[in-house]
Structure 1
Amino acid sequence: MAAQLTPYIESKDARAQAEFYMHALGGEVRFLMTHGQVPGVPEAMKDKVMHMAIGIAGENALFLSDEFVPTEGKGGRGSLTLSLTFPSEAAAREAYANLGEGGRDVYPFELQPWGGHYGEVEDKFGIYWKITKQ
């Protein structure tokens, strides 16, 4: 069975989070639809993101939307970790540093016993990133 996995993040501010990722990793908005594009939506929801697709770090896709209810109130919801593997150490270090702006280092980006470079960072939105250079 073959399938494509695309991470989907429900955000407090999908536009700001998407801008952060596109700045940190390079990318562009591929699609954006607001609730205001659907008839009968309450005025307070019209500017909220219903669905946004962005391309980041080459050909990778990430989907985002503004949350309907606070994600903290969804009981039992686990954390999200995204993994990026880069062809060069310089690109991996840059992504690690960019994603860490306003967040925190979880595991320093260093040469590992298996011969590759690896590090973990939590971004300012609470998303964990595993950065690897093989």
Structure 2
Amino acid sequence: MGNLKPFITSEDARSQAEFYLQSLGGEIASISTHGDLMGAQNEFKDKVMHMCVLVAGGNAIFMADAIEPFTPGTGISLALELPTETEASEAFAKLAVGGNVKYPIGLQPFGLFFGELTDKFGIHWMITAAPKW
């Protein structure tokens, strides 16, 4: 069984997270930039690549700064964390049927088994599993 979490892409993830914390209570559990996770030394180095915000009694919302143009309000994705690479690969393959793969699933430089796609209904998915070392 996996864990499903909303993932919000934002023009300013830090400010948006602060708004949610003031509105709903909670805390920022973690925050990493493109410089932290990927070693970026360009205009994206200080942008949020991944933030976990715990709100309203511990509900997790993942967030990131947009690095590609997008329309505010459309930056919502579903992040599905599965227990094994096999389960993640199978779910990814099934969701990809009739859809569009943005990043094929595989081990990423930031240490996570990850793939990204838009399903045939236009829903954006990020499928993950922790690698087994």
Aligned positions of 1:75-114 closer than 5 A: none
User: Is residue 2:31 matched to residue 1:32?
Assistant: yes
For residues 75 and 5 of structure 2, the distance between their equivalents in structure 1, rounded to whole angstroms, comes to 16
Change (3 A) 1:70 1:59: same
TM-score by length of 2: 0.51
Question: Residue type matched to 1:28 in 2?
Answer: E
Higher Cα Rg: structure 1 or 2? Answer: 1
**CA separation in 2, counterparts of 1:49 and 1:57?**
22
- Residue in 1 that maps onto 2:43: 44
- CA distances 1:9-55 after superposition (whole Å, capped 9, x unpaired): 01100000000001100010101101111455243111100100010
**Distance in 1 between residues matched to 2:13 and 2:31, nearest whole Å:** 10
Aligned counterpart, 1:5? 4
1:60-104 deviation line (CA, Å, top 9, x unaligned)? 00000001212239xxx9575xxxxxxxxxxxxxxxxxxxxxxxx
Q: Unaligned stretches of 5+ in structure 1?
A: 81-134
- Percent identity reads 45
Instruction: Work out the number of aligned pairs and report it.
Output: 76
Deviating 4+ runs (over 3 angstroms): 77-80
Name structure 2 gaps, 5 residues minimum. 77-133
Structure 1-normalised TM-score? 0.50
